[in-house]
C-alpha cells in the first residue's frame, strides 16, 4: 500500500482542485530565535570556544632594555602559553547593525619561560626561569552579521577586538631588578600578544562557523521520496531582541518528478508569534507546507490504495454483500472482492484558529476478483472531512486525524443502481478501521522541523492560527554531540 494518506496531514472544507501557480522565492517557514535562545547559543559557543582555545601559544617576545646599574640586557620570553581563560560575564545583543557578542571581565593565565643575558666587561652573564602572568579585566568584542547568500547563511565578521586592561607578572626566581625590568619592558608587549592571539583565534573560529552555516543542507530528508526545502530566503531579520530566518519550507520530491506548484499564500509579513515570550525558538509553518506535501504525494501517485484486508473480512466477499447489493451477489456469487481507493485530488489542508482540517476527495472502486481477474463493478465518490491535531515528537511535527463526516455518491456502476444508504455504513467502517489508522501511522511519524543537528526541541507549545502552525519551544543541546564545526 502506498503512503496514501500520508498527506492527509492536517485538515477543512475547501472545494476540490488546488492552486497551480509557481512558487517563486517565497518563504513558507519562518524561524525566530528569541533573546533567550540567543543566550543559550551564546553560552554554548563561548564555553566551547574557550575550551578549545586553550592552550594557546603566542610567539616569542624579545627586547633589549637598559636596566639601571646593570646596563643593556637582552631579554627573551619564550613558550608563552595561555592555559586558562575565564569569562566572567558575556552577552549577545542583536541590533540593526549586526549581532554583538561581548565578554567582559575576562581573565586569563599565562605561563612562559624567561631568559636574559648581558655582558659585564667581557663576561657574558645569563639566567633563565619561568614566570606566570595574570591578565585581568580583558574585554572581547565581536560584531557579526548574517546574510542570505544564494540560499545559504553567510556569517560576516564585521568587527573583532580584544582589549587587555591589566596585567600582573610573577617571576619564579631571578633578581628584583629583573622583575622590574621585565614588567616595564614587557607589560605592553604581552598585552598585545594576548590581544592578537585571541583575536586571531576568534577570527579563525568565526570563519569555520561561517563555513558550517554555509554548508548547512538545503534539504532535510523526510522519507525515501520527499524532502523539505530548507533553502534560506531573504536576509535574516535582526531586531533588538531576536533573529528571524525565513526558509522556503515546501516539500520537494526526491526521486519522482513533480510539477511546480504554488500554494495559495497571502503574502503575509514575517511573523512568528509566541505567546510565551520566554521560549527560545519559534517556528511558524504556513499551511502551504502541508499542502505541498499533499501535492507531492498525490502527484507521485502514492495515493492509490487497494484494500484487500479489513477487520471484517466477510465484507470482501460478495456473500457479505448479499443483502446490500443483491445483484452483485447474484452476478458473482462467493467471489473475493477488493476496494480500490484513489484520491481524486490532493487533500486540502486548512489551518484556522485552534483548528486544523483536511478535505479528502476519493474514488472508491468496488472490484470483484474472478480467477485472478479484477473486475471493477462500481465506483463511489467520497468527500471526507477530517479534523486534525498536531504534536511534537522529538524534532518532528506529527499529527493525527479523525473523520468528522463524509458524503458519498455513485459515480458509475456496471451492476445497476446501488442503495447508497445501505452501503454508507460499510464505507464509514472502512474509513474508520482501515483508512484512518493507516493515515495516522504515517502522520504519527511526521516530518522534521528545520532544527540544526544536535539540538532538540523541548517543552513545545503549538498554536494554530489563521493559515499557520506555530511551534514555540525551548531547545536542549546534546553535550555528547560535539560542536564539531567550532575549531577555535
Ligand atoms: C527550494 O527553495 C528555493 C528558494 O525558494 C528555490 O529557489 C528552489 O528552487 C527550491 N528547490 C526546489 C528543488 O524546488
Ligand atoms: C612550555 O610550556 C608548557 C606549558 O606551560 C610546558 O609544559 C612545557 O614544558 C614548556 N616547554 C619548554 C621547552 O619549556
Ligand atoms: C589565574 O589567574 C587568576 C587571577 O587572574 C587566579 O585567581 C587564578 O588562581 C589563576 N589560575 C591558575 C590556575 O593559576
Ligand atoms: C517511496 O516511493 C516508492 C515508489 O517509488 C514507494 O514504493 C515507497 O513506499 C515510497 N516510500 C515512502 C516512505 O513514501
Ligand atoms: C526594542 O525596540 C523596541 C522598539 O523598536 C523598543 O520598544 C524596545 O524597548 C526595545 N527593547 C530593548 C530590549 O531594547
Ligand atoms: C513559558 O515557558 C516557560 C519555559 O519554557 C515555562 O516555564 C512557563 O511556565 C511558560 N509560561 C506559560 C504562561 O505557559
Ligand atoms: C465467501 O464467503 C463464503 C461464506 O462466508 C464462503 O463460503 C466462501 O468460501 C467465500 N469465498 C471466497 C472466495 O473466499
Ligand atoms: C484503481 O482505480 C483507478 C481508477 O479510480 C484505476 O486507474 C486503477 O487502475 C485501479 N487500480 C487497480 C489495481 O485496479
Cβ–ligand 2 distance for 79 under 6 Å, the answer: yes
Q: Which of 21, 22, 23 to mutate to test the pocket of ligand 1 (most atoms within 8 A of CB)?
A: 23
pLDDT of residue 21: 33
Which residues form the pocket of ligand 6, taking CB atoms under 6 Å from any ligand atom?
276, 278-279, 459, 474
pLDDT at 13 over 60: no
Partners of 348 in beta bridges = 359
State the average pLDDT over residues 68-89: 89
The answer to whether 7 touches 222, Cβ cutoff 8 Å, is: no
Q: Is the CB of 252 under 6 A from ligand 1?
A: yes
What structural domains does the chain harbor? 4-28+226-477 (3.15.20.10), 42-214 (3.15.10.10)
Question: d(Cα 465, Cα 274) in Å, to the nearest integer?
Answer: 11
Condensed to tens digits (0 to 9), the pLDDT of residues 152-166 reads 999 999 999 999 998
Distance (angstroms) between ligand 4 centre and the Cα of 163 equals 58
Atom of ligand 7 nearest to the CA of 336: 13
- For residue 187, how far is its CA from the centre of ligand 2 (angstroms)? 21
Residues 78, 112 contacting (CB under 8 angstroms): yes
Q: Rounded to an integer, what distance in angstroms lies between the CA atom of residue 135 and that of residue 169? A: 9
Top mutation candidate among 278, 458, 460 for ligand 6, by most atoms within 8 Å of CB: 278
d(CA 146, CA 242): 13
Cis peptide before 206 (omega within 30 of 0): no
Per-residue pLDDT reduced to its tens digit, 223-232: 888 999 999 9
Instruction: Give 199 Cα–ligand 3 centroid separation in angstroms.
Output: 21
Residue nearest to atom 10 of ligand 8 (CA): 340
- Show the DSSP H helices in 402-482 as ranges: 420-430, 436-445
Residue whose C-alpha is closest to residue 10's, from 425, 401, 432: 401
How does pLDDT run across 268-305, given as a tens digit for each residue?
555 777 877 789 999 999 999 999 998 888 877 777 88
Give the C-alpha distances (Å, rounded to integers) separating 472 from 49, 274, 448, 469: 28, 6, 15, 10
CA distance 349 to 467: 9
d(CA 291, CA 294): 5
Q: What integer pLDDT is reported at residue 255 of this predicted model?
A: 67
Q: Which atom of ligand 4 is nearest to the CA of 223?
A: 13
Site to probe by mutation for ligand 1, drawn from 222, 225, 229 as the one with most ligand atoms within 8 Å of Cβ, is 229
Instruction: Measure 239 CA to ligand 5 centroid, in angstroms.
Output: 8
pLDDT greater than 70 at residue 487: no
Query: What pLDDT is attached to residue 22?
Result: 38
Q: 339-358, pLDDT tens digit by residue?
A: 999 999 999 999 999 999 99
pLDDT at 281: 94
Determine the distance separating the centroid of ligand 4 and the alpha carbon of 334, expressed in angstroms.
Answer: 34
Whether 224 is in the pocket of ligand 4, judged by its Cβ within 6 Å, is yes
pLDDT band at 98 (very low <50, low <70, confident <90, very high): very high
In angstroms, what is the span from residue 10 Cα to ligand 7's centroid? 39
Q: How far is the CA of 65 from the centre of ligand 3 (A)?
A: 29
How close is the Cα of 301 to the center of ligand 4, in Å?
Answer: 10
pLDDT classification of 104: cutoffs 50, 70, 90: very high
Q: State how far the alpha carbon of 374 is from the alpha carbons of 337, 338, 367, 426, in Å.
A: 8, 9, 6, 21
* Ligand 8 atom, smallest distance to 376 CA: 14
> Is residue 241 within 6 Å of ligand 5 at its C-beta?
yes
The finding on whether 381 has its CB within 6 A of some atom of ligand 8 is no
CA of 10 to the centre of ligand 8 (A): 26
Predicted model pTM: 0.83
**pLDDT bracket for residue 182 (50, 70, 90):** confident
pLDDT, position 364: 94
| Residue 130 Cβ contacting ligand 2 at under 6 Å | no
Q: Is the CB of 240 under 6 A from ligand 5?
A: yes
**80 CA → ligand 2 middle, Å:** 8
Alpha carbon of 159 to ligand 3 centroid (Å) = 29
Identify how many contiguous H helices and E strands the chain contains and give both numbers.
6, 24
Amino acid at each position: 500500500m502506498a503512503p496514501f494518506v500520508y498527506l492527509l496531514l492536517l485538515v477543512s472544507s475547501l472545494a476540490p482542485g488546488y492552486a497551480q501557480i509557481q512558487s517563486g522565492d517565497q518563504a513558507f517557514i519562518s524561524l525566530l530565535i528569541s533573546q533567550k535562545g540567543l543566550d543559550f547559543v551564546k553560552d554554548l559557543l563561548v564555553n566551547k570556544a574557550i575550551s578549545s582555545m586553550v592552550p594557546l601559544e603566542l610567539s616569542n617576545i624579545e627586547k633589549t632594555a637598559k636596566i639601571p646599574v646593570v646596563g643593556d640586557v637582552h631579554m627573551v620570553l619564550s613558550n608563552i602559553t595561555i592555559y586558562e581563560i575565564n569569562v566572567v560575564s558575556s552577552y549577545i545583543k542583536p541590533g540593526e547593525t549586526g549581532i554583538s557578542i561581548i565578554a567582559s571581565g575576562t581573565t586569563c593565565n599565562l605561563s612562559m619561560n624567561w631568559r636574559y643575558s648581558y655582558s659585564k666587561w667581557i663576561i657574558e652573564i645569563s639566567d633563565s626561569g619561568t614566570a606566570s602572568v595574570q591578565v585581568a579585566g580583558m574585554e572581547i568584542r565581536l560584531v557579526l552579521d548574517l546574510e542570505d547568500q544564494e540560499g545559504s547563511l553567510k556569517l560576516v565578521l564585521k568587527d573583532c577586538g580584544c582589549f587587555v586592561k591589566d596585567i600582573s607578572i610573577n617571576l619564579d626566581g631571578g633578581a628584583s631588578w629583573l622583575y622590574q625590568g621585565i614588567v616595564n619592558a614587557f607589560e605592553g608587549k604581552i598585552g598585545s600578544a594576548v590581544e592578537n592571539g585571541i583575536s586571531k583565534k576568534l577570527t579563525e573560529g568565526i570563519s569555520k562557523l561561517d563555513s558550517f552555516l554555509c554548508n548547512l543542507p538545503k534539504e532535510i530528508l523526510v522519507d525515501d521520496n520527499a524532502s523539505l526545502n530548507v533553502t534560506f530566503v531573504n536576509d535574516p531579520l535582526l531586531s533588538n531582541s531576536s533573529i528571524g530566518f525565513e526558509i522556503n519550507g515546501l516539500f520537494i520530491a526526491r526521486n519522482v518528478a513533480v510539477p511546480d506548484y504554488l500554494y495559495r499564500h497571502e503574502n503575509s509579513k514575517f511573523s512568528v508569534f509566541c505567546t510565551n515570550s520566554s521560549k527560545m525558538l519559534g517556528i511558524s509553518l504556513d499551511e502551504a507546507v502541508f499542502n505541498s506535501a499533499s501535492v507531492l504525494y498525490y502527484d507521485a501517485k502514492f495515493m492509490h490504495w487497494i484494500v484487500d484486508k479489513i477487520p471484517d473480512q466477510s465484507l470482501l466477499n460478495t456473500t457479505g454483500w448479499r443483502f446490500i447489493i443483491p445483484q452483485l451477489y447474484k452476478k458473482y456469487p462467493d467471489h473475493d472482492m477488493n476496494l480500490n481507493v484513489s484520491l481524486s485530488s490532493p487533500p486540502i489542508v486548512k489551518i484556522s484558529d485552534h483548528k486544523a482540517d483536511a478535505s479528502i476527495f476519493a474514488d472508491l472502486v468496488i472490484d470483484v476478483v474472478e480467477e485472478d481477474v479484477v473486475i471493477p463493478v462500481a465506483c463511489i465518490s467520497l468527500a471526507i472531512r477530517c479534523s486534525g491535531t498536531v504534536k511534537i515528537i522529538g524534532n518532528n511535527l506529527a499529527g493525527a486525524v479523525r473523520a468528522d463526516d463524509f458524503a458519498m455518491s455513485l459515480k458509475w456502476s456496471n451492476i445497476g443502481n446501488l442503495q447508497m444508504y445501505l452501503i454508507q455504513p460499510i464505507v464509514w467502517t472502512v474509513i474508520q478501521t482501515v483508512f484512518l489508522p493507516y493515515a495516522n501511522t504515517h502522520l504519527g511519524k511526521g516530518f522534521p522541523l528545520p532544527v540544526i543537528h544536535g539540538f532538540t526541541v523541548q517543552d513545545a507549545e503549538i498554536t494554530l492560527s489563521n493559515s499557520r502552525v506555530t511551534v514555540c519551544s525551548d531547545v536542549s543541546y546534546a553535550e555528547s554531540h560535539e560542536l564539531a564545526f567550532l575549531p577555535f
